Structure 1
Amino acid sequence: MTFKQTPSPNFSKRTAKIDMVVIHNISLPPNKFGGSYIEDFFQNQLDPTAHPYFATIEHLKVSSHLLIKRNGAVVQFVQFADKAWHAGVSHYRGRDNCNDFSIGIELEGADDIAYTAMQYQQLNKILADLCKQYPIKYIVGHNDIAPDRKTDPGRAFDWSKINEHR
């Protein structure tokens, strides 16, 4: 798998075995698509004066392994062998700190806005490749690992469009 590389400084060395993929959504500003704001955010280069919302998140240091844009283009911020900072405070099946053992995939989207056919197509290709490369046991939403804090990928995400990969 090769993707456009846009390295983020927000990662650390991974020490645990990867067995999970976490699906997220992101739009910057909220519910708006396009532009370079997501890439800027994951690279700590987001201009806090470009939109009022940006001033509320400028202090955050976060990343994801991949971003799938609305048109299906894929950007990689963190190598899979490294730990991206996407899950935050999280817990799943008796384990805390899901960043340690997961790959984070962001979809450019919002909880209540339908995702595109291209995004589902790319996501399925990526999941198939990841499941060949790693012993993936769980494909979950951010809401599954941080239910008190997160709602993504949201009601608009159609889990039935995700092929069985395990």
Structure 2
Amino acid sequence: MFTISSQHWVNQAKQLPSPYFNQRPVGTAISLLVIHNISLPPAQFGTGYIADLFLGQLDCDAHPYFHYLRGLEVSAHCVISRTGELLQFVPFDKRAWHAGASSFAGVTNCNDYAIGIELEGTDTQPYTEAQYQTLAMLTQALQQHYPQISDNRITGHQFIAPLRKSDPGLSFDWSRYFRDIKS
């Protein structure tokens, strides 16, 4: 079971504070959970480059793909590795920079009111058992701490930015995930 501190960090997560966040608009309730995926380089896992990117420490000369990431300032609240390890980069009460141009239920700028969780993965490769377990426990803790995140306010990046993004992709088992958060 995960717990969330009064400073909005998961007590059981490895904390890696990102410089890429800002304040949420005054009076904005945290009311949406957005699930993403990421791998760096694409389809390579366990490299440590995701943390480097979110911490502003990525060596853009380390891999040819990273040229496209030069100057990018991006973060998510949490990343769940293939092994199920939970890393947290931004406290939940702050605005992480994960969704970009986005809209949910007619309300734009999802970063203002959403929590962003990245799964280490791709749109086409199955996620691991450990990732689903960690994601379910994290979701349960988030829903308890931020009750406006109901099941119908959990979505994928592909649904809030459909012309721009495709994650977490067809490989994400939404039915299984929703069963897991109820158990």
Give the TM-score band, short-chain normalised: over 0.9
- Offset of residue 163 of structure 1: 2.8
SS of the equivalent of 2:64 reads: coil
Output the amino acid matched with 1:48.
C
Aligned twin of 1:136? 149
Runs of 5+ unmatched residues, structure 2 = 4-10
Aligned twin of 2:24? 14
- Please tell me the root mean square deviation across aligned C-alpha atoms, in Å: 1.1
What is the 5 A alignment of 1:150-165?
Answer: 150-163=165-178, 165=181
How far apart in 1 are the matches of 2:173 and 2:106? 26
SS of the equivalent of 1:12 reads: strand
How far apart in 2 are the matches of 1:5 and 1:78? 8
How far apart in 1 are the matches of 2:156 and 2:86? 19
TM-score w.r.t. the length of structure 1 is: 0.97
Aligned twin of 2:77? 65
SS of the equivalent of 1:31 reads: coil
Aligned twin of 2:113? 101
- Offset of residue 14 of structure 1: 1.4
SS of the equivalent of 1:49 reads: coil
Output the amino acid matched with 1:149.
R
- Offset of residue 116 of structure 1: 0.1
- Offset of residue 92 of structure 1: 1.1
SS of the equivalent of 1:78 reads: coil
Identity %: 51
SS of the equivalent of 2:178 reads: coil
Give CA deviations for 1:41-69 in whole Å, capped at 9, x if unaligned. 00111001110000111221000000000
Runs of 4+, deviation exceeding 6 Å? none
Q: How many equivalent residue pairs?
A: 166
Output the amino acid matched with 2:14.
K
How far apart in 2 are the matches of 1:95 and 1:117? 33
